[in-house]
Structure 1
Amino acid sequence: MISLPAISTSAPHWAQALLHPRSVALVGISDDMTKTAARPLAFLRRAGFAGRIYPVNPSRATVQGEPAFPSLSALPEVPDHAFILTGTQAAITTVEECGRLGIPVATILAGGFSEAGPEGAVNEMWLKEVARRHGVRVLGPSSIGVANLKEKLILTANAAFSEPDLPVGSVFVGSHSGSLIGALLSRGKARGVGFAGLVSVGAESDLSMGEICAATLDDPEITGYLLFIETMRHADTLQAFALQAAQRGKPVAAYKLGRSPEAAELAVSHTGALAGADDIADTFLRECGIARVESFEGLIDILPLLQRLPSSPRHRAPTVGVVTTTGGGAAMVVDQLAIRGVSVVAPSDATRERLAAAGVDGGHGRIVDLTLAGTRYDVMKATLDVMLKAPEFDLVLATVGSSARFQPDLAVKPLVDTARTHERPFAAFVVPDAPNALLHLAAAGIPNFRSPETCGDVIAAAFSRRPPRPDLPLLEPSYATSGPARMLDEAEAYDLFRSVGITHAPVALVAPGTDIPELPFPYPVVAKVLDANIAHKTDVGGVVLGIQDQAALARAIEDIRRTVEARRPDTSVSRILVQPMQRGLGEALIGLRRDPQVGPIVILAAGGVFTELYHDRALRLAPVDRDGARAMIQEVRAMKIFAGYRGKPRGDLDALTDAIVAVSRLAALRDQVVLDAEINPVLILPEGEGVVAVDALVRVAEYAR
């Protein structure tokens, strides 16, 4: 059972002020309706917010026809929430005034903080100190605001909220990007998706996306969460929220920027935070039980499917059965599912027999193509009734053709009626542009898609979702180290790996210019420069292979000394590490990296010099158990050869499993912080003979006492 950190399950005082304020102050509200800073007052009035609204503008007696106050201290009461619409410096001083008056929450629209370079970073440090000293919780900076649609709180400057008749629903949205909450709102309205609340967290100088979402978990009217993520900053609170959401059965889906280096660069410049490697973020989200979609459209479409398809451990590829009235439309979906690892499978013989008994020609192919007969209610309804009882399908997908545009209610009526009588998950792809048909499906709670790409994306993401790991390590908000980080030399690294149970090739240490001792292992051997400051020994001529005898070893040691000192004039070679030449069936890399945002990550990859080139690797949050390690081995394509591929000798994958688990334990050491650790390569020996580390890199720091 996971022990959760102390995020209150009942809404804390700041959450009441943020999302359910009885009164709000609009500091710096503009009278010019063409300006962004004028919108919040107009939105609140138009929506019919029942709380008290106080315009604050020191240069005007009235704003938008309402009396204005010169300052927060001039208000007749202390408001619950201040929305600060001023510039950067004035925003900081206003937060200080909030603290003096006892205003619990301030939202800051202005930028000019961490995203603005060194000067902005100073501003953000000042803001954090002022907020901490005065006890004010801050949303932002660079937050475009917050909306609680159930209570008609439209406390935002996002122009999309000028849209009339905003649909209220059960979805809560957290976004690093302010403009994206407006995009979700407008696109959601077109799809019949309503929202309970939306919050733009901005730069998260204080309140984080995870904290805010966690504060809403006990609201019974919120059934799921959509997150637009630019950075994994505050991963600890995001993790805590995700675990609690899973316990309550409330699905969480995310769209994260940063799959490309260019997008990651934009995320950094936008939020002022380290974007991090995308596959590390992907690992973190997956192990927290968060479904990650590849498309923004998929983020809007995924929650209905997640609510029909509970997360569960899977030990095989998911299977989908497709019934269609249009073969071409179905083929597009099959293609999109297949490239994402989701199998479209044919009905079993037993299922075809049941279809025939129901008067339906199930054909003989992978999909059930009803052709024009499928436009008849009785044919489609009977087919769905049979397929939704078939054990070979994890999901049934109905593909609807042109009738969905011209007779939208009739085309989807068999699907809507089926949804009322079946608990099994099914979804619909509507091929033509048929917004009314999609609205009918959405109203019935049926997952529906308007493009094959989004359909494939969402179904794959939903099936990829797993329950959070039961042993998932809880992230610490931060860890403190003392002194600079330092590299271990290879001999020291072997000692560290040996302490957690990893076998390494035997070693002997020789000083250049001394007599060559008798080695405790036979020739041929390899000689390597031993220096903590030289990570890549081959690059500086620090490695000689295939040394056959004592005389050749003496020459090799002198060659290494002379070459390394010529290429690295600041280096004096004092020690050479000697090991026996060993061969295995192949090589792997096992590593541990302490990511600054999500903590320690374990890596398994194809070993050798081409590791980075092929990018064939599996990642997990550390530590991992043997089941997790075995799953990592299955994910790395290069490891398949060691499972007896095409009659090749089997490698000792049990020993490799144990080595992965052992490396992951380095994350839990208490005497020092292992920042990076890598064995490359670890030789994989024949089955039953183990694995052997033949090169190692480790970087450590000391915990602050």
Structure 2
Amino acid sequence: MRELLAPRSIALIGASADASRLTARPQRYLRRHGFGGALHLVHRRASEINGEATRPDIPEGVEFAYVLLGTDHVEAQVAEAARKGAKLCCILADGFAEAGPEGEERQRRVVEAAHTGGMRVLGPNSMGVVNLQDRIACTVNAALEAESLLPGRVALVSQSGSMMGAILSRGAARGLGFSHLIGTGNEADLSAGEIAGMLVDDPGVDAVMLFLEAIRAPEAFAEAAAKAHARGKPIIAFKLGRSEYGAELAASHTGALAGSDAAVDAFFRAHGILRATTLEGFLELPSLAIGQRAVVRPAAVSVLTTTGGGGAMAVDALGVAGVEARAPDAAASEALSAVGMRAGARLLDMTLAGTKPDRIRAAIEALDRDAETAVIVPVIGSSAQFRPADAVAGITAAEARKPVAAFLVPQADASLRLLAEAGIAGFRTPESLADALRAFLSWRAPHPVAAEVPALSLPAEPDEADAREALAALGLESDWARFETEPAAGLRYPVALKILSPDLAHKTEVGGVALGILDEAALRREMAAMRERVRVAAPDARLRGFLAQPMARPLAEAILGYRHSPEVGSIVMLGAGGILAELNRDVSLRLAPVDEETAHAMIAEVRALRVVQGFRNLPRGDTDALARAIVALSRLALVPEVAEAEVNPLMIHESGLTVADAWVIRR
């Protein structure tokens, strides 16, 4: 941890005397920003660089070695650094795992060489490490050209090296200082999650920000998040890749709906990591969350404004994000009346009162008494641009137990800096305000669930009957029968008939499903016709016989799915069922396994299932049975051989459920 975050000796391998080159920057930045440790410039030919002596080889026992050479030279230098006892090696070059199979093998060898000597690796493709508290700027990022930097108590871990500088500069412009900025690059060895865990342990860090392109080593994130919750230090993530296009490659409806970003959302939610979807929200969430805990809060805020239009924008954007701006309750209304203010509807409009600091302070402290509001939102108009000290004085002076998040309607950089210095979140746009408050109000403590490992077995290539037997072992049973040439005895007509094949996940498309068969004679005729249809439509499919089950009329249909995501682990999904599954993105996801409380929360989140929850006096469905089914399927997270499973549709009745179709995919 110390050698990464605060090394006392650094070797720059391949430092350059050419100021225009990337590899000249680490030496320049380390000296400019006051590095007081031992700095070794390793160069085979030059005797000095910028007036400092060089050496031809890596010194013994250096703590941090930064390899600045090209890709072809990296492996040898890493091996040499490991032999010399270096504790950590950072690699700038690209051309490794991101470059295809040859690069992947090169990266594997580099890590193996490092580990053989007991050394850890940061990168490849890493722009280095910055520790502003200890004046360490071992990086090639051009943002360090700044003559001075603002230290703080927020750390940033970024998989994108260029974003380190962008976030540093944007933070500085608004008064947000950083303790550390670390570029992880390819994460061949040290991952963003592992480094986040180290930063949580640092007494000089109050919050950790993560700029992510992918989640590698999810268990490290989970461990860091649990530790962060225990220490009261928020972890805040901004992750790229919210597009759903990649989900089209999955083999089942669950894969199509539970694409990687939806799984990431479930992962962050389960582990108590706040997720911003705007860069502005990402920058301000630390000020909102530091000193707070991940707890269940009222999903509402109180808004006061010195500009009617600006306040209305804030209320509207909050509403789109699912955050209610509510009228003051009796206690807050009484406190407002005591200072000569009248409580309004969803907005306390103080336009005529102006931005007198004592009035703003009194309004904030009155709204702080509202038991049903979680955050107080002052909206400030033009005075924030022209009279910054007066505009925010009432906000910074207010003594409130609840967090405050201010929206400044004009461009008001000076006011934003004053808010940042006071540790108060300040926003330039209503959309970023709404994004940050949505994340903050949905922030929950990590919620691990213990569950028993289910006893089930699957053949190497399961068909629907095999999937149903696995579901039955989990506790999800329905009336059905399998047979090959002769219909099963005791069928309750009318029945649905399906072809059985391990090769046909979607049987309807090849004529492998028939509904409403009234008797055995009709069943025999349909068996022959179905077999022929499927052979023509899917000549290569292996046919194993038939499955029949009684027809059922549900109150509603759901899709219930399980998927092991290589990025974040196991997830369970509930959504609108039948043909609506792919037309509507009306779904709820969680990390698996889940408990019944979480399962009921998932049911409440699916709009299409309101029809079975007493909507407009319609008959109520058996949501308790549905919750138990979600819990049951989620236990597949404890069965390593299962990659995906799906019940679609799962029919919901007034009493009980019917599994109408099922599918399982092995890993």
- Partner SS state of residue 110, structure 1: coil
1:445 aligns with 2:411: no
**Contact 2:150/2:178 (<8 A) preserved:** yes
Equivalent residue number for residue 118 of structure 2: 135
1:157 aligns with 2:127: no
Post-superposition CA distance 1:666-704 (Å, at most 9, x none): 2224xx622111111111011xx2111121101225xxx
Q: 1:148 to 1:263 in 2, by over 3 A?
A: farther
- Between 1:140-149 and 1:522-531, the stretch displaced more is 522-531
1:355 aligns with 2:333: no
**Contact 1:146/1:155 (<8 A) preserved:** yes
Equivalent residue number for residue 395 of structure 1: 375
Matched residues in 2 for 1:411 and 1:246: separation? Answer: 35
Matched residues in 2 for 1:68 and 1:263: separation? Answer: 49
Using structure 1 for the length normalisation, give the TM-score.
Answer: 0.89
Counterpart residue type for residue 496 of structure 1: A
Counterpart residue type for residue 358 of structure 2: D
Matched residues in 2 for 1:195 and 1:355: separation? Answer: 38
Equivalent residue number for residue 566 of structure 1: 536
- Partner SS state of residue 150, structure 1: coil
Equivalent residue number for residue 256 of structure 1: 239
1:64 aligns with 2:50: yes
Equivalent residue number for residue 491 of structure 1: 465
Cα offset, 1:309, TM superposition: 4.1
1:463 aligns with 2:463: no
Matched residues in 2 for 1:159 and 1:569: separation? Answer: 61
Matches within 5 A, 1:66-105: 66-72=52-58, 75=59, 77-105=60-88
- Partner SS state of residue 79, structure 1: coil
Equivalent residue number for residue 584 of structure 2: 614
Matches within 5 A, 1:538-553: 538-553=508-523
Post-superposition CA distance 1:65-106 (Å, at most 9, x none): 22222221xx3x431111000111211111111111111110
**Contact 1:485/1:699 (<8 A) preserved:** no
Equivalent residue number for residue 377 of structure 1: 357
Equivalent residue number for residue 673 of structure 1: 641
Cα offset, 1:454, TM superposition: 1.2
- Partner SS state of residue 250, structure 1: coil
Matched residues in 2 for 1:417 and 1:229: separation? Answer: 36
Cα offset, 1:553, TM superposition: 1.1
Matched residues in 2 for 1:485 and 1:250: separation? Answer: 46
Counterpart residue type for residue 576 of structure 1: F
Equivalent residue number for residue 254 of structure 2: none
Cα offset, 1:509, TM superposition: 1.3
- Between 1:115-124 and 1:47-56, the stretch displaced more is 115-124
Equivalent residue number for residue 48 of structure 1: 34
Post-superposition CA distance 1:417-470 (Å, at most 9, x none): 11xx33222221111112111211111112211211111111111111111115
1:291 aligns with 2:257: no
Post-superposition CA distance 1:7-42 (Å, at most 9, x none): xxxxxxxx2212221211100111111111110000
Counterpart residue type for residue 339 of structure 2: A
Post-superposition CA distance 1:361-411 (Å, at most 9, x none): 44x332111113132233222222211122232211111111122211112
- Between 1:41-50 and 1:344-353, the stretch displaced more is 344-353
- Partner SS state of residue 683, structure 1: strand
Equivalent residue number for residue 220 of structure 2: 237
- Between 1:531-540 and 1:106-115, the stretch displaced more is 531-540
| Aligned mate of 1:697, from 652, 663, 666 | 663
Cα offset, 1:549, TM superposition: 1.7
Matched residues in 2 for 1:302 and 1:446: separation? Answer: 10
Post-superposition CA distance 1:324-359 (Å, at most 9, x none): 110011111111100010000112355334322212
Deviating beyond 6 angstroms after TM superposition, the runs of 4 or more aligned structure 1 residues are 262-265
Equivalent residue number for residue 630 of structure 1: 600
Using structure 2 for the length normalisation, give the TM-score.
Answer: 0.94
**Contact 1:308/1:425 (<8 A) preserved:** no
Matched residues in 1 for 2:448 and 2:420: separation? Answer: 34
Cα offset, 1:487, TM superposition: 3.5
Q: 1:487 to 1:339 in 2, by over 3 A?
A: farther
**Contact 1:29/1:57 (<8 A) preserved:** yes
Equivalent residue number for residue 9 of structure 1: none
Matched residues in 1 for 2:487 and 2:333: separation? Answer: 78
1:643 aligns with 2:613: yes
1:210 aligns with 2:193: yes
Q: 1:350 to 1:210 in 2, by over 3 A?
A: closer
1:596 aligns with 2:566: yes
Equivalent residue number for residue 685 of structure 1: 653
Counterpart residue type for residue 692 of structure 1: T
Matched residues in 2 for 1:230 and 1:572: separation? Answer: 41
Post-superposition CA distance 1:462-506 (Å, at most 9, x none): 111111115379xxxxxxxxxx99431111111111111112232
Matched residues in 2 for 1:416 and 1:383: separation? Answer: 13
Q: 1:569 to 1:521 in 2, by over 3 A?
A: closer
- Partner SS state of residue 494, structure 1: helix
**Contact 1:674/1:698 (<8 A) preserved:** yes
Equivalent residue number for residue 120 of structure 1: 103
Matched residues in 2 for 1:488 and 1:264: separation? Answer: 23
Matched residues in 2 for 1:91 and 1:557: separation? Answer: 65
Post-superposition CA distance 1:572-620 (Å, at most 9, x none): 5341112221221121111111111221111111111221221211111
**Contact 1:565/1:572 (<8 A) preserved:** no
- Between 1:343-352 and 1:630-639, the stretch displaced more is 343-352
Unaligned runs of 5+ in 1: 1-14, 266-274, 474-483
Matched residues in 2 for 1:236 and 1:412: separation? Answer: 42
Equivalent residue number for residue 524 of structure 2: 554
Cα offset, 1:227, TM superposition: 0.5
1:33 aligns with 2:1: no
**Contact 1:159/1:182 (<8 A) preserved:** yes
Counterpart residue type for residue 35 of structure 2: F
Equivalent residue number for residue 532 of structure 1: 502
**Contact 2:200/2:208 (<8 A) preserved:** no
**Contact 1:232/1:276 (<8 A) preserved:** no
Matched residues in 2 for 1:51 and 1:467: separation? Answer: 40
Matched residues in 2 for 1:398 and 1:310: separation? Answer: 22
- Partner SS state of residue 544, structure 1: strand
Equivalent residue number for residue 484 of structure 2: 510
Matched residues in 2 for 1:573 and 1:79: separation? Answer: 66
Cα offset, 1:251, TM superposition: 0.7
Q: 1:240 to 1:301 in 2, by over 3 A?
A: same
Unaligned runs of 5+ in 2: 249-257, 452-457
Cα offset, 1:216, TM superposition: 2.7
1:429 aligns with 2:402: no
Cα offset, 1:521, TM superposition: 2.5
Matched residues in 2 for 1:502 and 1:345: separation? Answer: 43
Matched residues in 1 for 2:143 and 2:542: separation? Answer: 66
Cα offset, 1:261, TM superposition: 4.7
**Contact 1:17/1:81 (<8 A) preserved:** yes
Q: How many residues align?
A: 652
Counterpart residue type for residue 402 of structure 1: S
Counterpart residue type for residue 698 of structure 1: V
- Partner SS state of residue 571, structure 2: strand
Cα RMSD, aligned residues only: 2.0
Equivalent residue number for residue 271 of structure 1: none
**Contact 1:486/1:699 (<8 A) preserved:** no
**Contact 1:308/1:424 (<8 A) preserved:** no
Counterpart residue type for residue 648 of structure 1: L
Matched residues in 2 for 1:681 and 1:93: separation? Answer: 57
Counterpart residue type for residue 432 of structure 1: P
Q: Percent identity?
A: 43
1:17 aligns with 2:3: yes
1:337 aligns with 2:311: no
Equivalent residue number for residue 272 of structure 1: none
